[in-house]
Structure 1
């Protein structure tokens, strides 16, 4: 499998082409397992299209995907964005394998104002698992465990992905948990933020995305970064 390329298709099938223990770091933002009502936000699309997207992003992921990620990593070294409903699944899975756990968070100062009979959706969770011997690099500036920023509306409008994560956070994760010329895998790469962050920090990436629309958007971002 070529480096610095985004592949379109199902990640379980695509990852079979990656050799054992060949990836240095995994960063993924997989489908969240959430109970999503019919409330919306400023995602730059009409309401019907928005709800269709959200429904496709709320089924979670099976442990089969996690097992395949463990196979391709040199050592367990993985960040997973998730909902609170997925914390138990991921923590149980990786701690059973002896990995250490850290919980990071992104706190949004301008969350979507939908709070009927529930707390605001103003926090996104980021789990970090690492095997014994995996180092955390970075600096005082990059190693904070929580971020407090507005929702990245401009990126959502520009790249049309409903769950796009901030580029600066992704770059910090890569700096903290890999070295230059390491290989970063994101098998739910969406509009390509992990790929851009990898290139910006001198790493290689392998990207996978099921939807051709986002593969095209991600490739446009990468080509723009390269000046092509």
Structure 2
């Protein structure tokens, strides 16, 4: 694929960097922006007040959406604190397909005493048009042998859904990356490959392009390469840019059958 912006992570602000990308050239926009919770990403990007945060969100959304192809899609990670406002903002621009709840499998310890403990992230799945790309077969979850055996009546024989597996639900129970997790890099809000790869395999065709405006630890880039897709993204923190390069180099050093998950 041509273009000097393909398979690169630029060390710059997304609002400026998005100008590098031609309109209508991206299959999937996968965004994990700062949540507005005051996290330390080596800069002040997550320290805006509510009004400024929502204004900034609208600015980057309006800069990023034109980069999508007509049948492109968007996944956006959010916290419950701002997902209602941002979902409304996006619904004025796209069609909402799903609200996905990521159950982070947080242990039942600690938490506040004046409210229920928050143990999930909210993910919005949006599409530009009715013919958006979605490959269900690529993400089906196989049934176990016992379930298949129980569906042995003749009406089930040869059923595609039984052989390939079922459609993932809109609650994804995937452990967060705790400090001892083998995937864990030095980043406070790193997302699991399992989640990002599911999004990419479902909503970006093989050889397509995934855009991540806030690369962070580079999970989107790593997942895209593992799945046979291209990527492009931006990251303000030079240390995270170096981390991404290391993760990609480590992946490229593996044998092809160890790094590709098409």
Q: Place the TM-score, normalised by the shorter chain, in its bin.
A: 0.7 to 0.9
1:121 aligns to 2:121 (yes or no): no
After the TM superposition, which residues 22-37 of structure 1 pair with which residues of structure 2 at under 5 Å, given as runs? 22-34=25-37
Alignment of 1:76-225 (within 5 A): 76-111=72-107, 113-132=110-129, 133-139=131-137, 140-141=140-141, 143-153=168-178, 154-155=180-181, 158-225=184-251
Structure 1 residue 78: Cα displacement? 0.4
Matches for 1:68-79 after TM superposition, within 5 Å: 68-75=63-70, 76-79=72-75
1:103–1:221 Cα change, 3 Å: same
The CA distance in 1 between the partners of 2:128 and 2:5, in whole Å, is 26
Q: What is the CA–CA distance in structure 1 between the aligned matches of 2:201 and 2:191, rounded to whole Å?
A: 16
Backbone CA RMSD of aligned residues: 2.3
Higher CA-based Rg: 2
Q: Which residue of 6, 10, 14 maps to 2:9?
A: 6
- What's the counterpart of residue 40 of structure 1? none
> Aligned pairs, how many?
213
Query: For the residues of structure 2 that align with 1:71 and 1:196, how far apart are their CA atoms?
Result: 24
Distance in 2 separating the partners of 1:217 and 1:156:
15
Question: Larger deviation: 84-93 or 212-221?
Answer: 84-93
Q: Distance in 1 between matches of 2:111 and 2:201?
A: 35
Say if 1:209 and 1:215, in contact at 8 Å, map to a contact too. yes
**TM-score of the pair, normalised by structure 2:** 0.74
Contact 1:191 1:217 in 2 (8 A): yes
Native 8 Å contact 2:73 2:126 kept in 1: yes
Go from structure 1 to structure 2 and tell me whether the alpha carbon gap of 1:83 and 1:29 turns closer, same or farther (over 3 Å shift): same
- Residue 87 of structure 1 deviates from its aligned partner by 1.6
Q: 1:221 to 1:155 in 2, by over 3 A?
A: farther
Other structure's SS at 1:106 match = strand
Higher mean C-alpha deviation, range 93-102 or range 61-70? 93-102
Structure 2 CA distance for partners of 1:207 and 1:52, relative to 1, 3 Å: closer
* CA deviations over 1:36-82 (Å, ceiling 9, x no partner): 6xxxxxxxxxxxxxx64497435444201000111111135100000
Q: TM-score, normalised by structure 1?
A: 0.84
* Segment drifting more, 1-10 vs 161-170: 1-10
